[in-house]
Amino acid sequence: MRIKISYILAIFLFVLLCLFPAIQAANALAPTSAVYAAPPVQTDEPITIRWRTRWDETHVRRVALPIIRLFQAQHPDIRIELENVENNAEYNAQLRAELADGGGPDVFYPATPVAYELHLQGALLPLDALIAADEIDLAAYDAEALTLYAQEGAPYCLPADVAALAVIYNQDLFANAGVAAPLPRWTWDDFRATAQALTVDGGSDETRQFGVDDSTRDWPLLLWSQTGHNAFDDPYTPRKLLLNEPEVLAALQWLADLANVDGVAPSRELQDDLEIDDFFLAGKAAMRIVGQWELARYVADANFAFGLAPLPRGEYAVNRLDGSCYAIAANSAQPAAAWEFVKFLAAPRGVGARLIASAQQSTPALRQLQKLPAYLRPVGPGKADVRAFLAPVDLRFSWYDPLHPLFADWDEQVNKQLLDVWKGDDPAEQEIGDIRKDAQKLLNQARTVRRQQQGDNEPTPLSALPLHYYVAPQGDDANVGYTADAPFATIQHALDVVKAGDTIHLAPGDYMEDLITQVAGAPAAPITLVGPPDAILRGKGEMSTALRVRHDHYALVGFTIDGLHGDPSAPDGYTEKLLYVQGETPRRGVTGLRVYNMAFRNAGGECVRLRYFAQHNEIAYSTFDTCGLLDYTFDDGGKNGEAVYIGTSSNQWDDGKNATADPDESSYNWIHHNVMNTQGNECVDIKEGAYENIVEYNHCTGQL
């Protein structure tokens, strides 16, 4: 169904007075029906902007209409004309067709793959110049999500939300069975055992209670969790299907066996017989994997209390990274007015963005909104905790894999082939061969990605798109490094060739290297180093640091930096500083570093150092164990041994190690949710000259 609603200019003064606190606090709910009915004031020739959404009627009334009223109150020369198409497929089809014909809305809300497809066709207005002119702080966004909407660091769409997943569970069924609520760091084996404990044979199909609803739609999640990588070697320029590990077969079969062997999930046959598409909502299944956008349905229709738990983990803790964004049509006749509205909807200070977050219909892409009290308020009668969608993970992936336009054909093909596995007719091992062959046929048909622009149909050079590099101790730096089957041997070689937006994947093993970054990432295209905890960088003792970051916009995720590289009984067997962050430009330090889910241990001195105007960096969800071995174990005479050291002591400002002798204004750094057992000096030491750093929610022990 499609609806069109026009709201013109300002609203009566008393309405503005009612809504003003909502603008200030951004926690407002939908205005009353009387407010909706208030007639708009007519003015001369306002600019009209068409805004197309794909929300249900409830969100249109509670979110879209208040946004329009608030925006028009602040911009009386702009009228917002709302068009809503609830069905996603219909929304995308209409959008593609209208934009191709030179029409369509000015502002719209595409999902990640649709935004990328339209960008390749030249249908989206580039936003980089507008962002720069208005000084939009891109560091306010989820850095990884931002990369999905940018090419060569230039955004073409402002991220709105992330389609994060969690497990919803029936608190009543858990209580009746005497089963405890899921723990935050549970595993897929725990998930299965919990489902078994909650499965009850009621004597017939109609009365049977299942431990978990059908989860076969979530098969990509199981693959990421067990393998740590996408289905294809590169989401933008896929060359090879990677589903060749034993873990892939095991994950697919495990998922099918929940219904066909364990009997803890409804079979496909039973779903068809009972004509139930959501056993959890019907009270016939105790758990289900859901996205936050689905919660409104359960709040409205469930006749039981429910809770939320983070996703279980396998070899890796994972979640979705894709979502939706706000874009402007390249053919918009009013790009300036459209940009004002997009800022209102999705910029860091956008009132509309806060109202959307307050409605709890999605996981915000703006990190500050993930801490908004109105967003975090408990949901439903069971007071479900939405922080389950924000639980820390090792890796996040786009559900649309690959993002290349061949995804639609691949998705249809692979799900059709997997249907026999889900039904129990064929084992996963039998189907995987055909899946690989058919995937290769699709790849052969799509060797390049074409970007359609005015009079320009040449293939986009592969170097213009982000790349993924793979590194393994048993690799070879002579390899191409594009696949896990042909990895580089050294991380430094990957750092030497990487560009903004690229990702370096580390395989398990020891890396005896002293690393130095060579090039900067970009706000919307950070350079990412990611690996499992048993991918361990140790240094090799030739420099005082294991990893020296001297460029902006890097992300370090999941792996370990352990300073022990030699004799554990000798001081020179340890790297002095594990992560050293220092820029080299006068009065400008490193910015945009994100350190998540890392492990730091066995440092000779500080575990992490942020030095010389280091600003807007984040260290979170990481562990620190044993910093300062040289002074505290080997009695070297000093007291260096902080988990995180920010700034430069005043007596060292002019020691020649910084680019200038100015006070070190390392500021706006955020250190949170870490576990620190230093066995040395302070957990966090902030020196004079530094300011506006936030240190919160850390567990700190072991100071000597």
Q: What integer pLDDT is reported at residue 39 of this predicted model?
A: 32
DSSP-assigned letter for residue 61: I
Q: What integer pLDDT is reported at residue 385 of this predicted model?
A: 96
Length of the chain counted residue by residue: 704
Number of Cβ within a 10 Å radius of residue 376: 16
**pLDDT digits 0-9 by tens, 342-379:** 999 999 999 999 999 999 989 999 999 999 999 999 99
| Secondary structure, 3-state, 562-595 | ECECCCCCCHHHECCEEEEEECCECCECCECCEE
Which residues on neighbouring strands pair with residue 170, listed in sequence order?
306
Comparing CA positions, the residue from 168, 170, 167, 187 lying closest to residue 179 is: 170
List the alpha helices (DSSP H) in 261-350: 268-274, 295-301, 335-346
**pLDDT digits 0-9 by tens, 534-567:** 999 999 988 889 999 999 999 999 999 999 999 9
What is the Cα 541 distance to its own chain's centre? Answer: 35
Q: If you average pLDDT over residues 306-325, what whole number do you get?
A: 96
Domain boundaries, the chain: 2-159+322-375, 229-251+397-461, 505-701
Number of Cβ within a 10 Å radius of residue 189: 11
Q: CA-CA distance, 294 to 445, in Å (whole number)?
A: 36
Average model confidence (pLDDT) for the chain? 87
**At residue 448, does pLDDT exceed 70?**
no
pLDDT band of residue 531 (cuts 50, 70, 90) is: very high
pLDDT band of residue 465 (cuts 50, 70, 90) is: low
- Cα dist from 320 to 123, 224, 363, 394, 396, whole Å: 26, 10, 11, 11, 5
Buried b (16+ CB within 10 A) or exposed e, 245-278: eebbbebbebbbbbbbeebbbbbbebbeeeebeb
**pLDDT digits 0-9 by tens, 655-674:** 888 989 999 999 999 999 99
- Name the class of domain 2-159+322-375: alpha beta
Buried b (16+ CB within 10 A) or exposed e, 685-698: bbbebbeebebeeb
Which residues on neighbouring strands pair with residue 453, listed in sequence order?
456
Q: CA-CA distance, 152 to 647, in Å (whole number)?
A: 31
Cβ contacts of 258-264, under 8 Å, gap ≥ 24: 258/192, 258/195, 258/212, 258/215, 259/214, 259/216, 259/422, 259/424, 260/423, 260/424, 262/192, 262/195, 262/196, 263/199, 264/192, 264/195, 264/196, 264/198, 264/199, 264/210, 264/211, 264/212
Residue found under tokens 């560091």:
139
**pLDDT digits 0-9 by tens, 669-692:** 999 999 999 998 899 999 999 999
- Cα dist from 677 to 1, 308, 542, whole Å: 57, 30, 27
